[in-house]
Amino acid sequence: MDDDRHVASLDDVPTDGTLLVTLRNGDGLEEVILTRLDDGVAAYKNYCQHWTDVRLDKGSGALVRNDEIVCQKHAATFESGSGYCNFGPCEGSYLATVDVEVDDGEVFVSEDGYTFEHVGESDDESRSSGSRIGFGG
């Protein structure tokens, strides 16, 4: 695998949380969360399916409980292995995936069009806070 596709060591991906990374694609930067599975790693775009401007991992790891990723805004729960929402306002939907693979204890992005940028938030100032309150002047 190419160096620009290397994301992290498998040991860096927590078994009870997520690792937030930023990838680059044709549209710019995109935050992705990695979660450890018994047989590898799953990667999902860092947003809830109910409101896509609500981040699951705000920089310190998403809440993971009973092998489910929890949206702290809506309490929706997503199965870590499939991304399937089994409870909440977006029940029946799936988290958007990004293909990754593990090779010799290292995690690589394998989806075409993506390269690794850095661990952590995208630092994109245009991201919404997730608030639905509008202020006008």
Instruction: Return d(Cα 13, Cα 91) in angstroms, integer.
Output: 26
Tens-digit pLDDT profile for residues 50-102: 998 899 999 999 999 999 999 999 899 999 999 999 999 999 999 999 999 99
Q: Is the per-residue pLDDT at 129 higher than 60?
A: no
> How many residues belong to the chain?
137
- Look at residue 124 in the predicted model and tell me its pLDDT: 63
Task: Report yes or no: 80 and 70 within 8 Å, Cβ to Cβ.
Answer: no
| Cα pseudo-dihedral 38, 75, 17, 107, rounded to 10 | 60
DSSP string, 8-24: EEGGGS-SSS-EEEEEE
Residue with tokens 């306002």: 89
Q: What is the pLDDT of residue 123?
A: 82
Picking from 45, 49, 47, 50, the residue whose alpha carbon sits closest to that of residue 34 is 45
Percent pLDDT > 90 in the chain is 82
**Closest Cα to residue 46, out of 26, 73, 66, 67?**
73
CA pair distance 50, 89, nearest whole angstrom: 6
- The backbone torsions φ and ψ at residue 68, rounded to the nearest 5 degrees and listed phi first, read -130, 135
Domains of the chain (ranges plus CATH)?
A: 3-119 (2.102.10.10)
Contacts of 93 (CB under 8 A, 6+ apart): 49, 84, 85
Are residues 118 and 92 in contact, defined by beta-carbon separation less than 8 angstroms? no
